[in-house]
Amino acid sequence: MDMEYRNLGRTGVKVSPLCLGCMMFGNRTGPEDSYAIIDRALEAGINFLDTANVYSRGESEKTTGEALKRNGQRDKVILATKVHGSMGEGPNDRGNSRRHIIEQCEASLRRLQTDWIDLYQIHRPQSDIPIDETLRALDDLVRAGKVRYLGTSTFAAWQCVESLWASQRFNLNRFVCEQPPYNLLDRRIERELLPMARTYGYGIIPWSPLAGGLLTGKYKRNEDAPENSRFSRRQDSPRVTPAMFDGVEGLQPLADDKSCTMAQLALAWCLRQPGVTAPIIGPRTMSQLEDNLGALQVTVNDQDCETIDRLNGPGQAASPFYQADFGPHQFPVE
């Protein structure tokens, strides 16, 4: 499959237009299936993998690292992981402090069985720590050769810009990309984050591009969720609403016109949005991966986008995904 690799933000590093999310691996997807999914994704040309220390408390990183050791492809892959979430019960076992970041970077390197992390991301903003403490710890990791690039996840646009200002002021490596929730049911990042990213050369790698599976069309109004599906395990999810079904159902005719699945339409739409580098897919099974890969063959033109905009308006959220800590926080000081 021909793959059109894209620069990750303003960096020179090239990534595939789909990133493989590894959140299911070592969790609902067992080890052998996880290795097979990773191998198949790499064979199809995906060179970008995303995990986090907190996914199944290290098990996703361990499974991903083992897959890369077995297939010998570590040096071909842009490997991304994250720090911030709780890895223990103590007050210092979480967050964006220098202490926790350096400790968890070492732990991630061990779990991933590698000497370096290509993209190390701060999983969430934290309001009681000035961003310069976080940036200085990350900068030291880059200078020590343990990390190549730095990123954020679920930061507000103003928090990204503030961090750029701090990097410039203190001569520290800057964040090169942001990982926000973005899909056809939650287009809020079009208001500020995407224009910010295009202005400042930030890469954008959206998580949950299928809204956790809602955009596959497999959930039906007034019916139980399919067995073993993600939302059958979260029956009370506030995301499963009549407005969500309104947003999803109108997409099926467009997918039918294009002879593709709704998931492929949703992914193809996401990866063509101006400012988006690579949506992060999260297949749980091999057949889901095969379906998701098919999105690379689907063309979404301007007319399709207009149709989609009438169903799910620009900047709107039929089913809001997530609200991060966007409140005021410690101001960076010298």
Ligand X SMILES: NC(=O)c1ccc[n+]([C@@H]2O[C@H](COP(=O)([O-])OP(=O)(O)OC[C@H]3O[C@@H](n4cnc5c(N)ncnc54)[C@H](OP(=O)(O)O)[C@@H]3O)[C@@H](O)[C@H]2O)c1
So which residues are the catalytic ones?
55
Write each residue from 81 to 110 as x if it is in contact with ligand X (CB under 6 A), else as -, in one continuous string: ------------------------------
- Span interacting with ligand X, options 70-78, 101-109, 160-168, 208-216, rule CB under 6 A: 208-216
- Integer-rounded Cα Rg, in Å, for the chain is 19
Helix (H, G, I), strand (E, B) or coil at 118: strand
CB of 210 to ligand X, least distance (A): 3
- Span interacting with ligand X, options 21-29, 91-99, 163-171, 247-255, rule CB under 6 A: 21-29
Write each residue from 28 to 67 as x if it is in contact with ligand X (CB under 6 A), else as -, in one continuous string: ----------------------x-----------------
Helix (H, G, I), strand (E, B) or coil at 27: coil
Question: What is the DSSP secondary structure assignment for residue 187, as one 8-state letter?
Answer: -
Q: Give the separation between CA 76 and CA 72, rounded to whole angstroms.
A: 9
Residue 223, class by beta-carbon neighbours within 10 Å (0-12 exposed, 13-18 middle, 19+ buried)?
exposed
Alpha-carbon separation of residue 110 from 63, 107, 114, 223 (angstroms): 12, 5, 7, 45
Q: Which of 135, 180, 149, 198 is nearest to 13 (CA)?
A: 149
Q: Select from 58, 213, 247, 332 the one that contacts ligand X (CB under 6 A).
A: 213
Number of other CB atoms surrounding residue 13 within 10 Å: 18
Q: Select from 8, 117, 281, 296 the one that contacts ligand X (CB under 6 A).
A: 281
Q: Select from 218, 258, 272, 329 the one that contacts ligand X (CB under 6 A).
A: 218
Contact by Cβ (8 Å): 25, 10: no
By CB under 6 A, residue 208 contacts ligand X: yes
CB of 138 to ligand X, least distance (A): 17
By CB under 6 A, residue 174 contacts ligand X: no
- Span interacting with ligand X, options 61-69, 86-94, 203-211, 246-254, rule CB under 6 A: 203-211
Q: Select from 53, 108, 288, 312 the one that contacts ligand X (CB under 6 A).
A: 288
Compare residues 78 and 332 and give the one whose CB is closer to ligand X: 78
By CB under 6 A, residue 187 contacts ligand X: no
By CB under 6 A, residue 153 contacts ligand X: yes
* CA-angle at 333, arms to 90 and 84, nearest 5°: 30
**What is the distance, to the nearest Å, from the Cα of residue 148 to the centroid of all Cα atoms in its chain?**
18
By CB under 6 A, residue 230 contacts ligand X: yes
Q: Give the separation between CA 83 and CA 126, rounded to whole angstroms.
A: 12
> How crowded is the C-beta side of 269, counted as CA atoms within 13 Å?
30
* CA-angle at 187, arms to 186 and 193, nearest 5°: 125
Q: Select from 283, 296, 312, 332 the one that contacts ligand X (CB under 6 A).
A: 283
Question: Where do contacts with ligand X occur on this chain (CB under 6 A)?
Answer: 21-24, 50, 123, 153-154, 179, 207-213, 216, 218, 229-230, 263, 280-284, 288, 291-292
